[in-house]
Every structure is written in C-alpha cells, then in structure tokens.
Amino acid sequence: MIDFRSDTVTMPTEGMLAFMHSAPVGDDVFGEDPSINALERITAAKFGMEAGLFCPSGTMTNQLAIKTHTQAGDEVICDELSHIYQYEGGGIAFNSGCSVKLLHGDRGRLTAEQIIAGINPEDVHKPITGLISLENTSNRGGGACYDFETFKAIKKVATHHNLPLHLDGARLFNAIVEKKEAPIEYGNIFNSISICLSKGLGAPVGSVLIGDAAFIKKARRWRKVFGGGMRQAGSLAAAGIYALEHHIERLIEDHKNAKILSEALAKKDFVTSILGVETNIVIATIGGKYTAASFAAALKEKGILAIAMTPTQVRFVFHLNISESDLAKTIDTIHVL
Ligand SMILES: *Cc1c(COP(=O)(O)O)cnc(C)c1O
C-alpha cells in the first residue's frame, strides 16, 4: 500500500532505530533521562528559546500550552480550522475551562486586523481574552504557510494587549524549509511553540513544547497532572533527535512531489479544484463521477490510501515513506481512473 493518509504513518528508518537502540535512558519524571534532556535542549536552542518539554503527542503539547497560558473562564482566539479546536476532543473547554473565539481566516491563517477585532473589550459581560493561538502550516488549510510579516504584525497586537502567543507548529519545519525561514525568528515572536516529531520528521512518537524556563516549569507540572510524565522514554526522544538532524532538509522533496501530484490530479475532470499546494499536503475537491469517499475507495483498490476528509475533499499527505516510484505509480493510477 502507498499510504498518503497522513505524514504520521512513517516507519522509523534503520539509522533511526540504531540511534534509538543506543540511546542512554533514565527516569524523566526525576529529570534523569539524558536523551529526553538533550532533545528538549536541542529543540529549544534551535528556536533560541530557554527550555523544552517532551510529550507523547502534539495534542498534549498544545493542551499544556493552553492550560499554562490561561485561567479557567478565559477565551482563546484561534482560526475555525485550527487543530486545537477541530481535533483535540474539546480539550480547550475540558482541560482549561476556556471558551473559544473562532475566527474565519484564509486557509487557517489569521490577520492582525482579525485578531484585534477578536480581542474582547474590558467588560464584565465578556470572557477575558487569554491567549492567541496560531497554526503553521495549517493542516485543514491544506498545508498553507503564514507570511512572516503577518506574524510580526500579530506579535505587535499581542504585545500591545499583553497576550501570550502560542504556535501549533506540528508541521513548522515544512514551513521553515519551504519559506527559507530561520527558526530563531519564531522564537522571537512566540511565547510557546509545539513541534511534532511524529509528522513529516518521521519519528514514531512525540512532540516538544518550547518556551521560556518559567513557562516550561509550569507546563511540566501540568504534564504530570495530565498523565504525560514518562519514565525511561529516552529511546523515543532519541528518535526525535535523529529526526531533527536527518529529516528536516528532505521535507522540500515532499513539497516538490506534492506539487507534481496536484498537477496530475488537476488534469482529471472529476477533480473540480485543488487548494494551491504550499507544502506536503494536497487537498482536492472531487465531483462528477466520484464522491470523495468513492474516489478514495477506487484508489484503495489499486493499493493507494488517501483520506476522504469531507464528503467532497480528498487529502494526500507526503512524507519520507513515499518514494519517487510511489509517486509515479500513483500518477499512473490516477491517469486511468
Ligand atoms: C497532528 C497535529 C497535531 C498533534 O496531533 P497528535 O496526533 O496529538 O500528535 C497538532 N496540530 C496539528 C496542526 C496537527 O496536524
């Protein structure tokens, strides 16, 4: 099977497995796992931030960030497509007791003006705006990236209103590689960033939350409360270190291949539109002889897996287990459907 369902489906490489096998481990709740400590240090340093926190999932790093930045009763500003709202099981309400100000952005991207309008005035009737959360790249937005100038404008708004700014950077390295950005610039803008190791970077498990030392200290306490304090998990962290060293530059190939697939899809009359490919995600709108589900089923019969995201949209995600020949086979298959 050629598996385009998600960039989470990757298998650890031989090199990664060897590195995991040789990793020193210890009890991380006691702060004694050398591999986890190294991963947290390396990730934070890349972004010029003080500290990091290794967690089992990106949902946990996002939810810990929200919990740490807010008080119960606050409101969180985010785009309506954002993962923290769409795909984290209502955790903003459940874990943090916060309401959400949902804004309607462009493919998951908000502007400074929208955020200004979304911040509640000082008024006893209104929840207190407690956090602005952005996502780069935007998953539901089909891998769309922010323009860095927009981050700078949003940072000004956040600073003016004394609001923390969180980034769901599940696929941040896809944006960084594509737009040739410097991670350190992100560290200057955001108060916290969640980075997934288990998406395009190809590690089997884990995410890292980074921020200043006081923030991470509080988040570490909440991680224990959430049940995310792990013990000798250093082999998993080692996979993350290996991924940060070996799997960032290659993301550009996923982006190139995603564009090639989108061009092949665009030739089919049952594909009515495609979100402009910016990184490793292709979202095609299906009409005519197929629904999204029946197109995905037809692909599956030919050994190709893609997700019917909505009744009309099919998503393909590129990652390190999709080879050039997988891409060629997929294009040949689509050609005859
Ligand atoms: C995958 C993803 C996450 C985290 O998901 P987990 O499966 O919990 O690791 C967070 N945000 C975005 C945008 C994602 O795509």
| Domain assignments of the chain as residue spans, ordered by start | 11-246, 250-336
In the reported structure, the alpha carbon of residue 7 is separated from the centroid of ligand 1 by a whole-number distance in angstroms of 10
| pLDDT at site 312 | 97
Q: What is the pLDDT of residue 106?
A: 98
Q: pLDDT at position 299, please?
A: 98
| Cα 226 to Cα 212: distance, rounded to the nearest angstrom | 20
Residue with tokens 């960030």: 65
- C-alpha 58 to ligand 1 mean position (Å): 5
Q: How far is CA 264 from the centre of its chain?
A: 26
Assess if CATH 3.40.640.10 describes domain 11-246: yes
135 lines ligand 1 (CB under 6 A): yes
Q: Which pLDDT does position 57 carry in this prediction?
A: 98
Q: Which CATH class is domain 250-336?
A: alpha beta
Task: Name the stretches of the chain with pLDDT < 50.
Answer: none
- Determine the residue of 80, 87, 109, 140 to mutate for testing ligand 1's pocket, defined as the one with the most ligand atoms within 8 A of the Cβ atom: 87
- The reply to whether the predicted model has a pTM over 0.85 is yes
Q: Give every CB contact of residue 61 below 8 A, 6+ residues apart in sequence.
A: 53, 55, 194, 195, 207, 208, 209
Buried b (16+ CB within 10 A) or exposed e, 187-221: bebbbbbbbbbbbbbbbbbbbbbbbeeebbeebbe
Say yes or no: CB of residue 75 within 6 Å of ligand 1: no
